[in-house]
Structures are given as C-alpha cells and as structure tokens.
Chain A
Amino acid sequence: MTEPLEQRVVTEFPYKHSTGEVIGRFLAGLKDQKRIWGQRVAGQGVVVPPVGYSETDGSAGGEWVEVKPTGVVTAVARVYRPIAQLHPCAEPFAFVLVKLDGADTALAHVVRDDLERLRVGTRVEAVWAPDADRTGSIRDIACFRVIT
C-alpha cells in the first residue's frame, strides 16, 4: 500500500463588511477616542456594542452612553489549541463575554493571560492596541486582562 495521495489547498475569502452607521460610530470611538460607547435602548438598558434598535420592541436606539473599559466576565470558553489564522491568538487564550461597567449587555472578546484564574465573575479591563495599530475594528481593544 502506497501513501495516501493528498493535496493541500488554501481557500481564502477576503470579506469587507459594511459596518453601518451605529457600529461604524462605535468602532470610530475605539479607534479615535479609545472610548467604548453603547446606546440606551427601550427594554434593554445600555447595549454594548450597540445595534441601533431595541430587540424588545423594535424601536430605534436612543442616546449614546459611554461605558467603562472595566467589567465582569459572564462567560468563558478556553481555547487550549488555537488554530492558525482562524483564532485571534496563537497562544492559548479564552473567549469571554464581558459586561462592562455601565452596560447591561455583554461584549464578546478575548483574554490572553491568567487563564487559570479566569472564571465567570472575574473582573477584567480592556487593553488597547497601540495608536498606530487601531484601524476601527473590535480588535482595537487588543484583549481584556484580569484585574489583579
């Protein structure tokens, strides 16, 4: 029996997502102000990131409200063996949901360090990407880190 015949093929899809007004301004806040903004929405409180409407009654999003770069972890999924170019980090990390102080909904992001201490209820804070690296993306927040 000979070795199996195989072929390695890489397929790439270069996507360019249109952000829209609301997420667009949220991202501009990250990039230009290093501030995190939500919107006050009927029935939901302060929604971060904002989607521009109420998921409760469909009404339009209201006033912009700044939230803190600190918050509490509400969910954790550790990734011990990241897959190159699929996951956001090469080293083991954790996907988390973070309910930022001042927000009523949780934001999906990553934690890179102190994974053994990380659990639901852990306090974390945003780590900003350097000025030159912020492009107007959710990854302008490089990651969250456990507050010691």
Chain B
Amino acid sequence: MSASEPPKEPVKYVEKQVHLPYCYVAGDYKARYLAALKDKTILGSKCSRTGKVFVPPIVASPESFAPCDELVPVADRGIVTTFCIVNIPVIGRAIELPYVAASVALDGADISIYALVQECAPEAVRMGMRVEAVWKPDGERQGSHEDIVHFRPTGEPDAPLASFMHRL
C-alpha cells in the first residue's frame, strides 16, 4: 500500500560544507615587509605629507591620502597601547589559555600592530608596558608573520599615556 503522505518523522538537518579556496597576493609593499622579517627587520611606510609611519606598510595614507613612498625600518620593540585577555578557545588556534592579545606601537611607528604578549602573567600586562619581539632563531625564519613568535616585557619603565594615546 502506498502512503498518502510523507513520513511523519522529518529529516532534522542538512549539512553543507562551504569551501572557499583563496589565493592572497601580498603585493609589492607587503612582499618586501614579509621578506624583511627574515632579517629581523620590521618595515613601515612613511607618508610623504605628514611623515607618519604605517606598519605594516601601505601605499597611501588613509588620513592624508598622500603616497607613502618611503619604506623605513621601525624597532622590534614598543609599547602595549591596549590589550585584552583571551579566555575563549578558537578552533584552529593552539595557544594556551588565557593569553594576551595586544596592540603594540613599535618605536618609530605611528600606528600599532596586533601582537601576542607572553612570558609574563596575563594579569601583569598593562597599558604603557614596554615589550620586545621574540624572533624565531636564524635559519628558521620564513618571511612570514610567524617569524615573530610573540612579544615579551622588556622590564623598562612604563611609557606615560600621553606618549602613546595618539597611536592606539
């Protein structure tokens, strides 16, 4: 006998894997920036009008719209301008919890970069804290962001707020 309606018990879910294969091309400035990391050098670009230094380097200032036509090295150390303590695991990220995600204004740069702060207790991190990059050993650096393993406190005195509040 043929049923007069579909099964009472519905299918509850359908699964679908969305697959997005990307090919990112670094472009000239970013390629040179990444290559320089291999030599433990962090490059920024300098605005031809205001002199502000952007890290990673960009070709034009979003503030003045003028070209940033000069690549300049900045220090591999700087100031924690702001930070958060991460307590929630993210799939695909193996860092032990809790960890500190910080914005670090490198000496010589006018904007901050995103950085991982380690080698100290998360609750010891503070705005104005001086930190330095910990690099992968010579021969292991690939010219990628992973060449900087993390940042760690230098032990220098904290920077006053006025010295970094315009480069958060």
Asked, given contacts A4-B26, A5-B25, whether A16 binds B13 with beta carbons under 8 Å apart, the answer is: yes
The answer on a CB contact under 8 Å between A11 and B20 is yes
Chain B residues with CB under 8 Å of chain A are 3-27, 30-31, 34-35
The answer, among B14, B19, B23, B31, for a CB contact under 8 Å with A12, is B19
The binding surface of chain B is classed by DSSP as mixed
A59 contacts the other chain (CB 8 A): no
Kindly provide the distance from the CB of A73 to the nearest chain B CB, expressed in whole angstroms: 24
Min distance, Cβ A88 to any Cβ of chain B, angstroms? 11
Q: Is the CB–CB distance between A6 and B17 below 8 Å?
A: no
Interface size on A, residues (CB 8 A): 38
Indicate if A55 sits at the interface (CB-CB under 8 A).
no
Let me know if B15 and A8 touch, CB within 8 A: no
Residues of A within 8 A of B18 (CB): 12-15
Q: Which of B6, B12, B17, B35 contacts A33 (CB 8 A)?
A: B6
Evaluate whether A10 and B7 lie within 8 angstroms (CB atoms) in the complex, with A15-B15, A17-B14, A19-B14 already known: no
29 A-B interface contacts by CB (under 8 A): A5-B31, A5-B34, A6-B24, A7-B23, A8-B24, A9-B22, A10-B21, A11-B22, A12-B17, A13-B18, A13-B20, A15-B15, A15-B18, A17-B16, A25-B6, A25-B8, A26-B6, A27-B10, A27-B11, A29-B7, A32-B7, A33-B3, A33-B7, A35-B6, A37-B6, A64-B5, A86-B19, A136-B11, A137-B14
A31 within 8 A of B: yes
| Cβ contact within 8 Å between A37 and B5 | yes
